[in-house]
């Protein structure tokens, strides 16, 4: 029923129809193109989006964010830490327990074998040091065995530290 001649005619008809449609589109574009299509607009409608001269957003320091931190928001962030740490006193897991971590001596959890990389971090886990460590653990303690990429948001870090401090009381 279908031989090569019928298939060739069908393909040729399809290509011919496509060519006619393409030529028709080209002719319509040339006929209906405005004469001054490249000219600047005659008037501009002000939508107010470009002229917003609001005060620039002021970045708060970590101390200011920590003072206004929300421990309830930090409880949602705790799930990232919960896989390796516990907030119960004396219950170590893959990582040491974080009960009373704020203002505790660095590497002071009894019964946990630290990697030794925290010796470079500092003497006391201040909120600022905790924030820097949570942002990039390997930059504060190079060689640490903690496998965590870090938390980029300063507000999230402040909320998490406030949560850990609140749960330790």
Give how far the C-alpha of residue 103 lies from the chain's centroid of Cα atoms, to the nearest Å: 29
Mean per-residue pLDDT for 8-34?
Answer: 93
| pTM beyond 0.85, yes or no | no
Mean per-residue pLDDT for 93-97?
91
Mean of pLDDT values over 33-43 = 78
Query: Does the structure show a pLDDT above 70 at 40?
Result: yes
* Nearest C-alpha neighbor of 138 from the set 109, 117, 112: 117
The architecture in CATH of the region 63-167 reads: Orthogonal Bundle (1.10)
Q: List, for residues 97-118, the tens digit of each pLDDT value.
A: 999 999 999 988 888 888 888 8
pLDDT at 12: 97
Query: What pLDDT band is residue 1 in, cutting at 50, 70 and 90?
Result: low
Q: Which residue has the higher pLDDT, 165 or 115?
A: 165
pLDDT digit string, tens, across residues 120-131: 778 899 999 999
Note the pLDDT of residue 85. Answer: 92
Q: Where are the domains of the chain?
A: 63-167
pLDDT digits (tens, 9 = 90+) for 123-163: 899 999 999 999 999 888 888 888 888 999 999 999 999 99
Which residue is associated with the tokens 């421990």?
Answer: 71
Residue 4, phi-psi category: left (phi > 0), alpha (psi -120 to 50), beta (remainder): alpha
What is d(CA 148, CA 135) in angstroms, rounded to the nearest whole number? 9
């Amino acid at each position: 029923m279908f031989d090569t001649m019928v298939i060739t005619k069908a393909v040729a008809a399809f290509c011919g129809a496509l060519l006619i449609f393409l030529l028709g589109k080209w002719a319509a574009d040339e006929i209906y193109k405005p004469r001054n299509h490249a000219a600047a607009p005659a008037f501009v409608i002000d939508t107010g989006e470009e002229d917003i001269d609001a005060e620039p957003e002021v970045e708060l320091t970590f101390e200011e964010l920590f003072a206004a931190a929300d421990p309830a928001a930090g409880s949602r962030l705790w799930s990232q830490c919960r896989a390796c740490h516990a907030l119960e006193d004396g219950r170590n897991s893959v990582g040491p327990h974080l009960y009373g971590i704020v203002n505790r001596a660095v590497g002071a959890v009894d019964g946990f074998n630290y990697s030794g990389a925290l010796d470079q971090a500092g003497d006391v886990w201040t909120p600022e040091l905790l924030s820097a460590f949570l942002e990039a653990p390997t930059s504060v303690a190079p060689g640490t065995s903690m496998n965590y990429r870090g938390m980029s948001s300063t507000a999230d870090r402040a909320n998490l530290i406030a949560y850990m401090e609140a749960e330790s009381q």
